[in-house]
Amino acid sequence: MKLLHVLTFLAINGLVPYAFALDENGVDPSGLSTTQLRLQRGLQALYTFANTSGSVLDRSGNANPIDLSVGPNVSRSNGQLSVNAVTIVKSAPGTADRLVNACKTSNELTLEMWIENDTQGQLDIISRKILTLSNGFANGNFHISQDYDNGGVYTMGAKLGNNRREDDLIGGMDDPNPSTFDLSLRNNVLRSNRKQHVIFTIDQKGVARSYVSDENGIAIERVATGDFSGGFTNWATGMTLALGNEVDYESSSARKLNADDVDNAGTIRNNGSVASRDWLGTYHMVAIYCKALSRSEVLGSRAPGGLAPKIGLDLNVQVTPERTKALTLYRRLTGTTTPMYDPDLTTMENYIKSGDLVSAAHVATDKSGFYNRTLVDFATTMSNRDETPRAELNDFTAMVVGVARDDINAKELLTGNYLYVGDIRKTAVRRNMQEDILMSNNHYSDLSRLGYDLKDVLVKYPVNDNPANSVSKQKIMRGDGVLFDHPDPAGLITTRAFMSAHAIAGTNRRLVEYTFREFLCQPINMWADANAPDAMVGRDVDRYPGGYNPKFQTTCRSCHAVMDSMRPAFGRFNFSEDMNYVQHGYIDNDTFMEKNATGIATKMNRNENVFPGGYEMINTGWKNYAITGTNSAYFGWRDVANDPVDGSSFSSRPQGTNLGQFAGMISRADAFPRCMAKRVFKSVCKREVETFDENMINTEAEIFKSNGYNLRSLFERVAVTKECIGQ
């Protein structure tokens, strides 16, 4: 046997009906009657708490209803039952046998609840039973409980047939039978005093899922695993279905097991007198099915898309050189393959025959694979410290995908004041701005884990969570959780992914280095300049390493002179490793961020005694010293003051007072479109740019500019060059 243990769920305000899940009144939003629910979904028990006296009636309509007797210390009103103190609401032993037998036959289970949790006095190191089918503390078929693990969590368990065991259980849930196995799955998102919709399923393949509504009332798949095979062959009959406590909470054996239970304040809660596993809160609806509701049944229009439509076999297709080239283009641009008889290849073949290769490529970039694979790999490589495409989907990558799909000028990748998220109307993922976007990558990892089509679901982050509102701004958080509009947004540079990779610890030199590396394709050794002024080199850089100044002049100066002069643009930024969020000196106060009176992060002036005569950063004024010699020719700096679009060559040294101006300078440099062309070439042509490719890269970079920096168009054009696909 195997005990599935610990899945968590979230409290919400408000209710949103789902495609097939029941509302708090036990009503199916699609209009199915209880008879249809029994026949189609295996409904075994339904409690709506409509009656205010007597037993809680099972309204499933099944013969032999599983009614529940009500103990003391509850209050009831139409549609709810509140547990106010230690008690139990339970069936007579054995009346739930038909439920047990039905689930043993189907080998599937769904538990669904609308509840409202009261956390007062419940954060104890024991399992508080919300719903259980058992004959006592140590032997049950399933349960939903509340536990304490450095905070309130909920647990769900079902005994399954599997001959393994692991004694790492929580709250005394260990079954003494040596053939039980317990697996813990955690997601600590407990909320109190709010209605929460919980759906827990196990299907015949052993896939268990937990769906829990968020603060918007949208069901989200919190945990899923495929490791729960074995069925319900070990379920026992003679069990009692109970709410609010363990079935044997007053027995002598249970008292012994629980005599040492203590609450979170260290006080002995039960003192050996009553071994209570009581849960305090309100029930609005409880339903039990012997069928596993599918993702689409639970989530409706917010479910991830299914398989791609099947392409009909066509044996009359002729494999021409043009069709073969079309397939090569398709594979390179989408990152996927397709049958030679795919009608899309026919369209591409005809374009190629007419000499219009770009239109052929456009057919491929209209496919989801271009966004979900090619663009994701292209962007993710730039987003992380290791420069690997295997990192998680993140806010950096989502912005690149969205900008390409929406035909937005790619310079906004560095100047845009927005981010892309999953559309609230099309996705069921974690989306709390503070918890799931600014303090973690939960939102984006959910989009990836659940397989959402980014082409279809991404939208700019909307004001007031209204997808119809196109006005968007990047957000930043103060340490106490208060959100603000970002004071110095810079597109991809101020995404959480880029900041967490390069603003953590250190002195933010890495942010300058990797901005040049990712967006201008120049590693620091290629733009170091020993002739640049060293007036802005920080005090943490020794001018006499080993007591020898020439070593600084020949080894250190060339990099630090150009890098340190632009470092002040990042002077107010830090990524907090402890709290896992991006900090800004204008937003965070001294309680959360170490900074000086002008908001400059303390780390920017650390180790000031190494060379006290060095540059002390007191503001965010920066200067670009990478302007002479080969740097001038390579970067092609432009002055926005003379031309708001691309500008002319700088007549004086580029400089500015914040990160936004620095990022704008990067976006206007001639090196930016060349860098994008090089990265696109590597992405779709599957090799590095060689010297003999440079003329093509320069040509495509200029066309990229003249096309309004359209990233999708750049992919299409580069993919059909002879350097990439051949003659």
Backbone angles phi, psi at 339, to 5 degrees: -65, 150
Quick one: 145 and 217 in the same domain?
Answer: yes
| pLDDT > 90? residue 371 | yes
Query: According to the model, what pLDDT value does residue 211 have?
Result: 84
Give 262: exposed, middle or buried? Use CB within 10 Å, 0-12, 13-18, 19+.
middle
Q: Are 233 and 163 in contact (CB under 8 A)?
A: no
711 lies in the same domain as 627? no
Alpha carbon distance 248, 102 (integer Å): 25
Q: Using pLDDT thresholds of 50, 70 and 90, give the confidence band for residue 643.
A: very low
Residues 684 and 611 in one domain: no
Q: Is residue 560, in this structure, part of any structural domain at all?
A: yes
Q: Which helix (H) or strand (E) holds 37?
A: helix 34-41
Give the other-Cβ count within 10 Å of 450's Cβ. Answer: 20
- Residue pair 524/517 in contact (Cβ under 8 Å)? The answer is yes
pLDDT band at 29 (very low <50, low <70, confident <90, very high): low
Note the pLDDT tens digit of each residue in 374-404. 999 999 999 999 999 999 999 999 999 999 9
Give the Cα-Cα-Cα angle 195, 198, 201 (nearest 5 degrees).
175
- In the prediction, which pLDDT does 225 show? 75
| Nearest-angstrom CA–CA distance, 532 and 231 | 72
- Answer yes or no: is pLDDT of 265 > 50: no
CB within 8 Å of 398: residues ≥ 6 apart: 419, 420, 421, 444, 447, 454, 458
Same domain for 627 and 689? no
What average pLDDT score do residues 590-614 get? 95
Into how many domains does the chain fold?
A: 3
Q: Do 584 and 718 fall into the same domain?
A: no
Q: CA dist 598 to 595, 607, 613, 659, Å?
A: 8, 19, 21, 15
CA–CA dist 701, 697 (Å, integer): 6
| Same domain, residue pair 682 and 603 | no
Query: What is the distance between the alpha carbons of residues 115 and 105, in angstroms, rounded to a whole number?
Result: 29
Report, in angstroms and rounded to the nearest whole number, the Rg of the chain calculated over CA atoms: 31
Residue 524 belongs to a domain: yes
For residue 371, the 8-state DSSP code is I
Q: State the helix-helix crossing angle for 395-405 and 442-449, rounded to 10 degrees.
A: 60
Query: Helical H runs in 226-367?
Result: 252-258, 295-299, 321-334, 343-353, 357-365
- In the predicted model, is pLDDT for residue 656 greater than 90? yes
Contact 30, 54 (CB under 8 A): no
260: left (phi over 0), alpha (psi -120 to 50) or beta: alpha
Boundary residue ending a domain (302, 337, 354): 302
Q: Which residues, 6 or more positions from 201, have their beta carbon under 8 angstroms from its beta carbon?
A: 108, 109, 110, 111, 208, 209, 211, 292, 293, 298
The Cα 343–Cα 349 span in angstroms is: 10
Tell me: do 8 and 155 sit in the same domain.
yes
If you average pLDDT over every residue of the chain, what do you get? Answer: 85
**What pLDDT does residue 122 have?**
58
**CATH number of the domain where residue 188 is located:** 2.60.120.200
Whether the per-residue pLDDT at 455 is higher than 50: the answer is yes
Please tell me whether residues 603 and 711 are part of one structural domain. no
712 and 566 assigned to the same domain: no
- The residue-averaged pLDDT of 348-372 equals 98
Is residue 305 within 8 Å of residue 455, measured between CB atoms? no
| Tokens read off for 594 | 């170490």
Classify residue 615: in a domain, yes or no: yes
- CB neighbour class for 33 (10 Å; exposed up to 12, middle 13-18, buried from 19): exposed
pLDDT in tens, 189-203: 456 777 888 888 889
- Domain boundary residue among 589, 610, 635? 635
The mean per-residue pLDDT over the stretch 463-473 comes to 54
CA-nearest of 158, 125, 126, 130 to 145 is: 130
CA atoms of 628 and 314, how far apart (whole Å): 62
Residue 175 has pLDDT above 50, yes or no: no
Single-letter residue type at 221: E
Domain end (from 302, 333, 357): 302
Q: Are residues 189 and 251 in the same domain?
A: yes
pLDDT band at 653; cut points 50, 70, 90: confident
Q: Identify the DSSP state of 301.
A: G
pLDDT tens track for 38-73: 778 889 999 999 999 999 999 999 999 999 999 999
Element (H, E) at 442: helix 442-449
Q: Which domain covers residue 13, as residue numbers? A: 2-302
Looking at the chain, the whole-number percentage of residues with pLDDT higher than 70 is 82
Residue 583: burial class (beta carbons within 10 Å; 0-12, 13-18, 19+): buried
Tokens of 674: 């060349």
**Is 109 among the domain residues?**
yes
What DSSP assignment string belongs to 83-141? E-SS--EEPPTTTTHHHHHHHHHH--EEEEEEEEE--TTT--SSPEEEEEEEEETTEEE
- Helices 671-685 and 376-383 pack at an angle, to 10 degrees, of 120
Q: What values do phi and psi take at 230, rounded to 5? A: 130, -20
Residue 376 lies in a domain: no
pLDDT of residue 272 exceeding 70:
no
505 found inside a domain: yes
Query: Taking Cα atoms as reference points, which of 588, 592, 564 lies closest to residue 577?
Result: 592
Q: Is 543 a member of any domain?
A: yes
347: helix, strand or coil? helix
Domain assignment present for 319? no
Q: Cα–Cα distance between 209 and 521 in angstroms, integer?
A: 44
As a whole number, mean pLDDT of residues 508-521 equals 99
User: Which of 198, 164, 212 has the alpha carbon at shortest distance from 4?
Assistant: 164
Residues 61, 111: one domain? yes
Residues 677 and 555 in one domain: no
Maximal CA-CA distance, the chain: 93
CB neighbours of residue 568 within 10 Å: 27
pLDDT in tens, 411-435: 999 999 999 999 999 999 989 899 8
Q: Torsion angle, CA of 89/94/95/99, rounded to 10 degrees? A: 100
